[in-house]
Amino acid sequence: MMHRVFFEDKGLVPYKECWDYQLGHFYEMTDRKKWNKDNSELAKPTESRLIFCAHPHVYTLGKSGKEDNLLLTESELKFHGAEFYHINRGGDITYHGPGQIVGYPIFDLDFFFHDIHKFIDKLEDAIMAVLSSYGIRSSRGPKGFTGVWINFDNPEKARKICAFGMHVSRWVTMHGFALNVNTDLEYYKHIIPCGIDDKAVTSMQAELGKEVEEVEVKLRLKSEIQKALGIQSFL
């Protein structure tokens, strides 16, 4: 059975709106898989989906994170025009805002591999390939330091350029990654990013010293994810 994978770019969209949109597709897929298990002779195919978007200023805290890592009061959040949400992904606190490429893969891993760490590795490979195409050398961090990093081996210069946080149930994924392209890094000063207080955060713009065309980054990233996961084509 050929597994269909859809792609959509939702542009700038409020976090809660996109979270609800993700959940709708996520529960549709997990419910279908449960139904298929009980009705194998009438099984209906699932469909995976890769969503690209960006959000207005927002901080999100994973289920294992510490709220103390948000350094703003409720009134200060409003002053900075930012929202705050507790969510069901892994990881600690992170920031989303304009100038990021946020990727939400809602994938049925039955059609790829039953290994969430391998899935994240593949996505990190795709992001590192895109960064390399711009002349930015990067690597994944060791255990406990998820995401894509620059100069991680140098404690004084280590900086994260892409954060990850995912949730999986019945081998269906949701949430994903946030690649800093032209991100306003000032917003990271109001949190302890990912609960790590001795590492910096960066962006493609900061590394290259110029604004980067986000449409082109998206095209390259979509292509690299397709190759990394062996997707024949997006629909």
Predicted confidence (pLDDT) per residue in 178-229, tens digit: 999 999 999 999 998 766 666 799 999 999 999 999 999 999 999 999 999 9
Contact by Cβ (8 Å): 149, 138: yes
Instruction: Please indicate whether residue 156 or residue 120 has the higher confidence score (pLDDT).
Output: 120
Please state whether beta strands 100-106 and 47-54 pair in parallel, antiparallel, or not at all (unpaired): antiparallel
Q: How far apart are CA 123 and CA 120, in angstroms?
A: 5
Smallest CA-to-CA distance from 177 within 227, 114, 110, 104 is with 104
Catalytic residue selected from 18, 53, 162, 194:
194
Rounded to 5°, the CA angle 138-71-57 comes to: 65
Amino acid at 191: I
Instruction: Please report the pLDDT score of residue 198 as a whole number.
Output: 60
Q: Mean of the per-residue pLDDT values for the chain?
A: 93
pLDDT at position 106 over 70: yes
Amino acid at 135: G
How does pLDDT run across 149-158, given as a tens digit for each residue? 999 888 788 9
H runs (alpha helix) in 48-102:
74-79
Indicate the pTM of the whole model.
Answer: 0.94
In the residue annotation, 194 being an active-site residue is answered as yes
Mapping DSSP to helix (H, G, I), strand (E, B) and coil, where does residue 218 land?
helix
**pLDDT (average), residues 18-43:** 94
Three-state DSSP at 105 gives strand
pLDDT of residue 145: 82
Domains observed in the chain: 4-39+48-229 (3.30.930.10)
The predicted pLDDT at position 92 comes to: 85
Q: What angle do CA 89, 93, 98 make, to 5 degrees?
A: 95
Q: What element of type H or E holds 208?
A: helix 204-208
Ramachandran angles phi, psi of 167, nearest 5°: -130, 140
Higher local confidence (pLDDT), 154 or 134: 134
Residues listed for the chain: 235
